[in-house]
Amino acid sequence: MSSFNPKVYADLLRVRQAYAFEAGCFLMRFYAYMMNIGTVTMLTLAGYSFFVAGLTSSIIALSTFFIAPRVSKLVDERGQHRVVPVAAAITMAGLAAMLVNIAAHGPEWALFVAALPMGFVPNPQALARARWTFLIRSGRLGDAAPDLRTMFSYEGVLDDIGFMFSPSISIALASAITPVAGLLAGGISFAVGTTLLTLSRSTEPVPGWSDAARSAGASRAVDAAGASGADADAASAAKAARPKSVLRTSGVVRMLFAVMFFVGAFFSVFDATTVALSEELGNPNIASVVLIVASCVSMVTGFLFGMVRLRIPQYAQLLVTAVIIGCAYGSMFLVDSALSLFIMSTIAALFYAPLLITVNATCERAVPGSRITEAITWMNAGMSCGMAFGPSVSGIIVDTWGAAASFDFGAVLAFAVPVTALLGARILKQGLQKSYEVVGQEHL
C-alpha cells in the first residue's frame, strides 16, 4: 500500500539551482499571506472603521479572485520573467497608493480604488510549484530528480510557515511602530522576492514546454530524425495559440476548485469561531494557543506525509483524504468547551496538510505541465473565495445564536468537502486516467 523513506528531502536540497527561486517565492509569500488581515489591522489602527477595513479587504480578495488566475494564465503563456515583474509592479503601485493615503488619513474612496490593482498579485505558491514541476517532468534534473509528491509536501510546509507567521509579524509591526509598518515590510519583502525569482532564469518553465515534449515524444516514436522539427513546431504553435482558461477546459480543476472552496470556508469559520468561543469563555488567549498548536501539528504532519509513497491511485488518495478531513473537522459540532476545542482542533490538524498536498498533486496530474501555474492559482482562488464567504456568514450566526451554532455551520461546510469529492469521483477518475498518458509522454 505504501512505503516510508525519511531521506526523500535530501533529493530536494541537492537541487542547488532551486535555491534562488525558492528564496524569492518564500519572501513573496509573506506579503501574500498578510495582505488581507494586515489591511484590516492597518486600517483599524489608523482610525478607520471596521466596516471600511472589512470592505477594503473584501475588495482586495475579490480583485485577486478575478484577476490573479488571469495573470497566472499569462505567466504560463508568455513566461514568468515577462509577466511577474509587471504584475508585481501594478500590485505594489496599489499598495503604495494605499499606504500614502493612510499616512495622510485620506478619503475612504481612495482606499477602495487602491485595493483594485492589488489583485494583480502573482501567486508565489503556484510559481514555485510550476518551476519544480518543469524541472522534474521535463527531465532537466535527470536521475537526481526528486519525487513530485515530496516537492508538494515541502512546498506545503513553506506555505504553513508563511501562513502561521506572516499575519503575526504584520500585526506586531503595525501595533509597535506605525499602522503602515506591517504591510510596508510585506511589500518590501515581496519586491525583493520578485527580483530574486525574475533573475533566476535558468529554472523558469519554457512556455508550452509540456506540449512540445508530447509532440517530440510522438515524433520520436515515428521518426527520431524529425524530433527537433516537431519540437520547434509545437513550441511555435503553443506560443501563437491562445488557449481557453484551464477552469473551462478541465473538469478535474473545476471539481478541485469546488473542494477548495469548502475547505477555505470551513477552515475560516473554524478560525473565526474559535476566537468567538474564546471571548465567550472570557479568555482570548485560548484561541491563540489552539490555532498555534494546530498550525504546528499541520506543519509536522505535512513534512512527514512527504516521506510516504502511497501505492493507491491518485484519485483514490484524494477521495480518502477528503473523507477523513470532512469527518475530522465535521466533529466541530461537538465543541462546547476549551478542552473539547483543543482536542478536536489538534486531531483534525493531523489531516489538513495531507489533504492540501494531495489536492496539489492531483492538480499537477490533471493538467499539462505548461498550465500548472494557472491551475494551482484557480485552486487557491477557490479557497480564497471560501475564506471570504465563511466568516461573513459565521459572523451573523455568532452575533445571533452564539459560537456553538457557528461551529455547527462549520461542520456542515466540512462535510461538504467529501460530498463534493465523492459526487465528482467519476470526473476525477476519468480526467486523471487521460492525464497519465500525457505525463508519460512528457518524460519521453
Given this model, what pLDDT does residue 2 score?
59
CA angle 315, 318, 320 (to 5 degrees): 110
Q: Comparing 9 with 229, which gets the higher pLDDT?
A: 9
% pLDDT > 70, the chain: 89
Burial label, 202 (beta-carbon count in 10 A; 0-12, 13-18, 19+):
exposed
Residue 216 clears pLDDT 60, i.e. is over it:
no
For residues 375 and 257, give the distance between their C-alpha atoms in angstroms, rounded to a whole number. Answer: 9
Is 109's pLDDT higher than 50?
A: yes
Distance from C-alpha of 187 to C-alpha of 201, rounded to nearest angstrom:
23
Do the Cβ atoms of 166 and 29 come closer than 8 Å? yes
How far, CA to CA in Å, does 237 sit from each of 204, 230, 243, 247, 248? 19, 10, 11, 21, 20
**Maximum C-alpha span of the chain:** 76
Are the beta carbons of 111 and 49 closer than 8 angstroms?
no
What's the pLDDT at 339? 94
Higher pLDDT, 235 or 211: 211
The least confident of 56-70, 163-177, 403-417 is 163-177
pTM over 0.85: no
Average pLDDT of the chain is 84
Indicate the burial class of 58 (C-beta count within 10 angstroms; 0-12, 13-18, 19 or more).
middle
pLDDT value at position 4? 64
Calpha distance 372→378 (Å, rounded): 10
Q: Which residue has the higher pLDDT, 318 or 219?
A: 318
pLDDT at 100: 95
Contacts of 228 (CB under 8 A, 6+ apart): 216
Say what the pLDDT of residue 21 is: 94
**pLDDT band for position 50 (cuts 50, 70, 90):** confident
Q: What is the pLDDT of residue 5?
A: 67
* Planar angle of CA 8, 11, 13, nearest 5 degrees: 115
pLDDT of residue 324: 96
Q: What is the helix (H) or strand (E) element at residue 4, kind and residue range?
A: strand 2-4
Q: What is the mean pLDDT of residues 306-327?
A: 89
Q: Does the pLDDT at position 442 exceed 60?
A: no
Task: Kindly state the DSSP code that residue 312 receives in the 8-state scheme.
Answer: S
